[in-house]
Amino acid sequence: MSETATPIISTRNIGKHFGGVKALEGIDFDLAEGELRCLIGPNGAGKSTFFRCLTKQYKPSTGEIFFRGRNVSRLKTHEIARLGIGIKTQVPNVFDGLTVYENLHLAANARMYGAAADEACDAAIERMALQRIVDERLDRLSHGQRQWVELAMIITSRPVLILLDEPTAGMTGEEVAKTAELIHEINRDTSLIVVEHDMNFVRAIARKVTVFHQGRIFAEESAEEIMHDPKIGEIYLGKRKKVQ
């Protein structure tokens, strides 16, 4: 996918304060059209808060958000979703008692009905390689499979930008490798921002990495530079993410 000059999403001076806690401060962020960016940073750095500000689940305390050059700072959550921005949060968002196909249909029906919904589900099943488990109930699936179903649910609405908050948390090495492949597949026609802690995974999927620390952008470098940057190692010292 080619990258054009106007970023798909930009923020200027985004801040989010909870009482006296400055969870985010002065975030200037640009994502190129078609880009796949990873966000890293220690626990509490503000990564999930940044995602919630982008989707307007949180109202930013300061700053502005631009989508393809348009100021969308005043839009509400459902209007942001309608722009084509999908999010997978750290909390699972699936129905355990329903099958994979039923879950996908529910997701698709938020936007479309009938043949269009069927077609969107079929396309998502194929792209996320879920053919063998479409009739399984969610509570019978492995942790990794459930995550992939959630990815498929997001792509049924054909978003143009997807935010993924720790998509590989709790996965086995094999599941992490498959998730990297699926993310590459999604990135063929969709921009992505992925919060991740596993640096091998980050290196496998992203060229550019943004490092959050104490609510600010601490660095923006290639995955290779990050791996060898002693400053980055220091901010993780003593507060390394729970091992996954």
First-to-last alpha carbon distance for the chain, in angstroms, is 32
Fill in the DSSP letter of residue 103.
H
Which string of x and - marks every residue 33-72 that binds ligand ATP (by CB under 6 A)?
--------x-xxxxxxx-----------------------
Smallest distance from the beta carbon of 41 to Mg ion, in angstroms?
9
Answer yes or no: are the C-beta atoms of 161 and 85 closer than 8 Å.
yes
Nearer to Mg ion among residue 48 and residue 157 (C-beta)? 48
Number of CB atoms found within 10 A of residue 235's CB: 19
Instruction: Check binding of 48 to Mg ion (CB under 5 A).
Output: yes
Residues in the chain: 244
Smallest distance from the beta carbon of 98 to ligand ATP, in angstroms?
28
Nearer to ligand ATP among residue 54 and residue 151 (C-beta)? 54
Nearer to Mg ion among residue 48 and residue 145 (C-beta)? 48
Say which amino acid occupies 199. Answer: M
Nearer to ligand ATP among residue 23 and residue 108 (C-beta)? 23
- Nearest-angstrom CA–CA distance, 77 and 59: 10
Smallest distance from the beta carbon of 17 to Mg ion, in angstroms?
17
Nearer to ligand ATP among residue 103 and residue 147 (C-beta)? 147
Say which amino acid occupies 203. Answer: R
- Nearest-angstrom CA–CA distance, 79 and 202: 30
Nearer to ligand ATP among residue 44 and residue 144 (C-beta)? 44
Name residue 9's beta-bridge partners. Answer: 31, 67
Smallest distance from the beta carbon of 28 to ligand ATP, in angstroms?
17
21 binds, among Mg ion, ligand ATP, none (CB under 5 to 8 A by kind): ligand ATP
Smallest distance from the beta carbon of 166 to ligand ATP, in angstroms?
7
Stretch that binds ligand ATP, among 15-23, 66-74, 107-115, 120-128 (CB under 6 A): 15-23
- Nearest-angstrom CA–CA distance, 31 and 35: 6
Instruction: Check binding of 18 to ligand ATP (CB under 6 A).
Output: yes
Runs of H (alpha helix) within 14-142: 47-54, 77-82, 100-109, 114-127
Smallest distance from the beta carbon of 97 to Mg ion, in angstroms?
28
Which string of b and e fits 120-139 if b means at least 16 CB within 10 Å?
bbbebbebbebeebbeeebe
- Under the rule (CB under 6 A), what is the footprint of ligand ATP? 18, 21, 23, 41, 43-49
